Each structure stands twice: as structure tokens, then as C-alpha cells.
Chains A and B, each alone.
Chain A
């Protein structure tokens, strides 16, 4: 990809991300008093990650059956509170096994 096209995008991403992380840490040392805002911020990570995962995960492996297998394995292992690494690798393995099985049929 052309750097002249790519660089402004990445710098904007980096600056926005850095300011979000840095400003509260460096400048704001008091506690937020608004209960609504604190509650809102509490739910944001879960809503963001869930919205990013669904339905995108269904199209992440190249075929619907292998994606469904990966999703099912990820949900079960996450429910059992396995580590991020375990869940990620097991889901990929499930997708691979189902895809291999399909290609042999």
C-alpha cells in the first residue's frame, strides 16, 4: 500500500488512541462523580467487543460451517474461563479441522 495514503490514517489512529490512554492518566486524577458516565464507561468495552465479533466471526474463516465450529468452541471454552490464548488457539483448531473435513468430502 502507498505510504502517502497509509501514513495519515495510521497517525490519526495512533494519536486518537494515545490521547484516550494518556489524558486521563496524566491530567485527570480525580474520580468521576457522575454515576451514569461511570456506568456507561463500564459497559463500553463489552458492547464494543461484542459488536465487533458478531456477525464478523461468521465470515472470518472462509466458510460458514468452520466459522460456526470455531464460534461454538470459543463460547464453550470462554464460559469455562480458559485463558485468551487457549480460547484463540482452540477456536482456530476447530475451524481448521472442520474445513479439512469438508475438503475431504
Chain B
């Protein structure tokens, strides 16, 4: 469980991030951000859904509180992942190392780290986050710089990549778990309702996502509480 093993395990994640962050970089450039600003967001936030939502809110000139709350709700899933992973770290992961590693604990990094047999150590974890972190930054750079060089048709088509990735995260668990399926369908339905229905569509995008997430998760938690011994592995893969 050394750095090299972690680095190797992180390469597929890094390649995946390269393509998704390319899309993000392109969207950032389209929203009026400079190349440096796009890369700066990616290197300080390291989160696809949060950055995308944040970009829309910044472009819309939303209040700071709404931005903070939106990030809180959208990224709340990381709290669960960090909580779960905290049970799996070896003694070498002192508080300082936990604080450093936490910066890059993304959905996919969490999924791979959780999948390891036994406790994981800091060398492995630092190896694991290397390729994803730089892949995320590099993809953003390329997307923001070269996105505008691509034909408009290709650029438009790439705009869907990040949403396709979200679908690829939520569908496989929905296939195997009826309660997750219900959460996904209800959240989609509620989100559409808040987008299309007259009075509801006055609510801004960030708050709409918060309301959908909280209402649907609370309802599903009430109706289908997870088994007492499970849930530690929860969170998107």
C-alpha cells in the first residue's frame, strides 16, 4: 500500500476527470471566466457538481449566502464519505494528514479507497489523489483554453458530458435498490416541477436543488431507512 500503488489506482479516475473537467472549463469560459479563473476554481474546489452549480450562480450574480448554502447541500454527501472513510484509516493518518487528504476526497477517490482491503495509509491515499487532482486541473485548463477553438457543434455536444456522468453515477445503484430508484425519480420530478410550474419557477436554481435534495432525502429516509448495519458505504460511487 505505497505511493506507487495509489498512483496507479488513481490513473483511471484522472483520465475520467480530464474529459469532464474539459467540459467544465469550456462552460466556465462561456460564462465569462478567464482561463486562470477557471483553473483556479478547479484547483481550489475539486468537485464537479458544486463547481457547475457555483458557476451558474456566479454568472447570475446570486447572493453569497445562496452560493454558500448551495455548496453546503450539494457537497453534503462528502461529509458522509469522509465520515465513512475516517473509520478505515491507519494510525499513520494523523490529524494533519487527514486535513490534507480531505481536500481531495472526491466521489471516485472515496469509492476506490473504500474498496481497498483493510486499513489504508497516507502514502497510498496521496498516490491515489495525484492523478485525479492534476487531471481535473489540466482538463479545466484545456477546456477553457481550447474549448473556444472547437466548432460550435462539438462544443454544444460536449456540454452534455457532465450530466451524462451524473446519470452514470445514479443509475447503476437505482437498478439494484428500489429506494434509491425512488429518490432519483422523485428528485428529477420535483426538479422539473420547480423549473416548469409557474409560481415555483421563481425560486432560483440553487435553492431549487436544495429543496429537492432535502425533501426527497428526508422522505426516503423516513419511508426506507437504511439497515442498521449498512449505510457506511453510502454515497455515490
Contact = CB atoms under 8 A, between A and B. Distances in A.
Interface of A: 1, 3, 6, 8-14, 16-18, 20-26, 28-29, 31-32, 35-57, 60-63, 66-67, 70-71, 73-75, 77-79, 81-93, 95-96, 99-100, 103
B160 A39 contact: no
Interface of B: 12, 15-16, 19-20, 31-34, 37, 40-41, 44-47, 49-54, 57-58, 64, 67-68, 71-83, 85-87, 95, 98-99, 101-103, 105, 107-108, 152-154, 156-175, 179-180, 183-188, 190-192, 195-196, 208-209, 212-213, 216-218, 220-222, 224-226, 228, 231-232, 234-236
A49 to B, nearest CB: 4
B19 A89 contact: yes
* Secondary structure of the A contact surface, majority rule: helix
A95 B192 contact: no
Nearest to A27: B95
B37 A6 contact: yes
Given A43-B217, A81-B172, A53 B166 contact: yes
Given A41-B234, A54-B192, A66 B157 contact: yes
Contact of B163 (A20, A32, A60): A60
- Of listed A13, A37, A66, residue having the most chain B CB within 10 A: A13
B178 to A, nearest CB: 12
* Residue in A8, A47, A99 with the greatest tally of chain B CB atoms within 10 Å: A47
Nearest to A37: B221
A56 B159 contact: no
A55 B193 CA distance: 9
A3 B38 CA distance: 12
B192 A43 contact: no
